[in-house]
Amino acid sequence: MSDGARGAKRLLPALLVIIIALASFLFFGVFFRDEMPAIASEIAAAFLGALITVLITMMLLNRQSEAQEQLLAKQSEVQGELLNRQFEADRAREMGATFLAQKISTYDELMNEIRSVMVKGTIEPQDTVALQIINQKIALYASPDALKSFSRFTAEFGKVAVDGEIDEEERDSLLQLLADLSVKMRQDLGTGGELDPVEEIEIVASVQGNAKALSMKTTEEEFLANCEGEEVEYFRRVFEFLKSQNAQVVMGQKGFSIWSKGKSRIRCYPTNVKKSIEILNKYMHQPTAAKVRELLGPVVCARIQDDKTYITFKPAELPLERFLELIALLTK
């Protein structure tokens, strides 16, 4: 009810009071004279009393109606506020569920793309484009920690993508970074609750350990067993030299690599693998590169392409003494 209507409703009893007062004055003036019969005065008094009773009852009912209207209005207002809050809560819950579903879908898409690249062992232009698109989606949904971890992964992925092939060491490196990314995504999805730094390190180490355990690394004995002819003795002496030099050797699924200063400098494969021996051509300083070419000799140097990541040759193309000298040069 509007304020004007309420005012008019409140004014009505006041008008009735005025009318009753005037009527009472007339009644008293007319019916309570000495010459009027007593019965007339009693009837007038009874009528006036009844009229006053009706007026008081109307005023009380009017007040009660106003109180009820105010109560109903307040209840309607409170109910409307509760409905609005419920609507906002339902809307926020629905948006949260949709956001979480999109986040899970994006992470699944990322893992599927990485799995595809890892399994085939090569990186094609469309793989890079796919990750670039996923990167945009991750920017929309991922947490800051997951974004930082993904940035570290893509930085390493970009280095690996230069030659379009993923070797064993590069796969291991990517898997180590992927382990950290997986844990960050796990936290972002809210599975398992919050982790303290120690628990996070333990879980990352566990995932990395699982990746290593499933990598099926070869051994020195298995490597030599897969060699043929003179290469058996060639690589046996290489292993002896590496042990004497305390060189950092990492066994892979098929071959092994010789590391120095955080990079895989030399990679060796048994006879049944086409690659044979590879030397990292990138990141090599000019004086070292010149010495390497001198040790490799003209036959191997004739095949060197500066834009290629590795220099490849077979044991038969390089005498053992020169190869050992080459190892010492690149690992010092």
Question: Averaged over 252-260, what is the pLDDT?
Answer: 86
Task: Name the average pLDDT for the chain.
Answer: 81
Neighbours of 183 (CB within 10 A): 25
Neighbours of 17 (CB within 10 A): 14
CA angle 123, 296, 165 (to 5 degrees): 5
Q: Is the pLDDT of residue 176 over 70?
A: yes
Q: Is the pLDDT of residue 241 over 90?
A: yes
Question: Averaged over 182-198, what is the pLDDT?
Answer: 76
Q: Is the pLDDT of residue 231 over 90?
A: yes
Question: Averaged over 278-286, what is the pLDDT?
Answer: 80
Model confidence band, residue 235 (pLDDT cutoffs 50, 70, 90): very high
Q: Locate tokens 């009472």: which residue?
A: 24
Domain boundaries, the chain: 101-213, 220-331
Find the farthest-apart pair of alpha carbons in the chain and give their distance in angstroms, rounded: 157
> What is the rounded distance in angstroms from the CA atom of residue 113 to the CA atom of residue 119?
10
pTM of the model: 0.50
Kindly indicate whether the domain formed by 220-331 is annotated with CATH number 3.90.1150: yes
Neighbours of 253 (CB within 10 A): 12
